[in-house]
Amino acid sequence: MDRLRAFMRAQHMAYRTEKTYCLWIRDFIRFHQMRRPEELGAPEVEAWLAYLAGHRSVAVNPRRRL
């Protein structure tokens, strides 16, 4: 997470953006029982997005595809 924060700061992202991205990433990792993100692939991302859309009422962006 520290490397991610350093990267976002190097990109001059706003602090609130950095904070939000870190929260989403933490949620993703917890959803997959604390597995390392390097171990996860497209099926896990799709499962998490389906969970967000179905259980947490997060809107799906129709223009964006995996």
SS (H, E, C) 43-54: HHHHHHHHHHHH
* 65 part of a folded domain: no
* 64 part of a folded domain: no
> What are the pLDDT digits (tens) for 52-65?
888 877 776 655 55
Q: What is the CATH number of the domain that holds 36?
A: 1.10.150.130
> What are the pLDDT digits (tens) for 13-63?
999 999 999 998 899 989 999 988 788 899 999 998 888 888 877 776 655
* 32 part of a folded domain: yes
* 63 part of a folded domain: no
pLDDT band at 66 (very low <50, low <70, confident <90, very high): very low
pTM of the model: 0.70
Q: What's the domain count of the chain? A: 1
The residue segments making up the domain with residue 51 are 2-55
Residues 3-22, mean pLDDT to the nearest whole number: 92
* 33 part of a folded domain: yes
* 62 part of a folded domain: no
> How far, in Å, CA of 46 to CA of 41, rounded?
9
